[in-house]
Amino acid sequence: MYKRQADAPIELRIDFEELRKVTHLATHFLDNVIDANRYPLAANHDLAQQIRRVGLGIMGWADMLVRLGVPYDSTEGVELGRRVMEFVNEESRNASEKLSEGRGVFPQWAESNCGPDDKAAVRAPGERIRAERKLRNCNLTTVAPTGTISIFAGCSGGIEPLFAVAFMRNQAGSLMPDVNPDFVRMAKDGGWYSEELMEQIAQEGHIHFDEVPEAIQKVFRTAHDITPEWHVRMQAAFQEHTDSAISKTTNFAREATEDDVRQIYELAFSLGCKGVTVYRDGSRDGQVLSTGATTKSTEEVAEATAELTELKVQLADAREQNHNLRVE
């Protein structure tokens, strides 16, 4: 959904017309899915038909920012996210409104927030939460977790930043290397690509090397380069124009404290997020995504754990031996 004219303003490098077409097509498709689905329970079927909720979302956001040359953890990146999601949200409503002309509004429309004034929820007298609008679907947008789907599509997941330029993915118990193709392309175009550098990046889990131009480092901001605050601010920008909730992880370094987490929960609440998810790197064995640095640290922890277990066994044996001596 972007154009490659590097010297054009950001607004002109995003193909909003194509994005509009895709949004309308996807909304139509999702409305069809409601009727095509076979639900396990009659209650599920009845509710789906009554409210016709769909969840149009996005993925590949981090890839788009990289190709536009906009850092994820920047005011420009956050504002761009807000604008793009506002566009998608509004166009999905336009598509749903158009569908209602031929298919009718969802059955519980008159009882909903977008129904008549006497039923609509208000913030204050005369101030509706949603404008009255005849829609085919009660809710239209969300940002779902798209981990596996994004792998199939070859793009970044949801609105998450790049996890790393090169990392190991734990797929059904097998560690698989994953290298960002845009980074490789830019390295080759810039003449600073080498197999040795790529291996070093994969092993160390970052791109902060002298060979990597500063401009590239600025754009390829990964999950652990980005402070938790920017994770939440990006989520809040998308939440402002999203009907349902958002799947988004706020990544913390291994050294994060409980107070660090508390501050992020309070920030998310103050910015209007419907929820917040935090994850401290290396806090569990076998995490789905890990950099070379994380893997190394996990191995060190596993080694230390094994040593501790052996000491516990030796202590138990000593206690048993001491007990037997006293009995004798």
The rounded distance, in Å, linking the Cα atoms of 68 and 11 is: 10
Segment among 135-139, 210-214, 279-283, 297-301 with least mean pLDDT: 297-301
- What would the mean pLDDT of 121-127 be, rounded to a whole number? 80
| pLDDT of 286 higher than 70 | no
Neighbours of 84 (CB within 10 A): 21
| pLDDT of 180 higher than 70 | yes
| pLDDT of 273 higher than 90 | yes
Average pLDDT, the chain: 86
Q: Quote the pTM value.
A: 0.81
E strand or H helix at 169, and its extent?
Answer: strand 166-171
| pLDDT of 3 higher than 90 | no
Half-sphere exposure of 259 (CA within 13 A, CB side): 0
- What would the mean pLDDT of 146-175 be, rounded to a whole number? 83
| pLDDT of 209 higher than 60 | yes
Q: Please tell me the predicted confidence (pLDDT) of residue 305.
A: 46
Segment among 102-111, 232-241, 298-307, 317-326 with least mean pLDDT: 298-307
| pLDDT of 146 higher than 60 | yes
Q: Please tell me the predicted confidence (pLDDT) of residue 190.
A: 95
SS3 110: helix
Question: Which DSSP symbol is given to 121?
Answer: -
Over the stretch 27-84, which tens digit does the pLDDT of each residue have? 999 999 999 999 999 999 999 999 999 999 999 999 999 999 999 999 999 999 999 9
Question: Which DSSP symbol is given to 168?
Answer: E
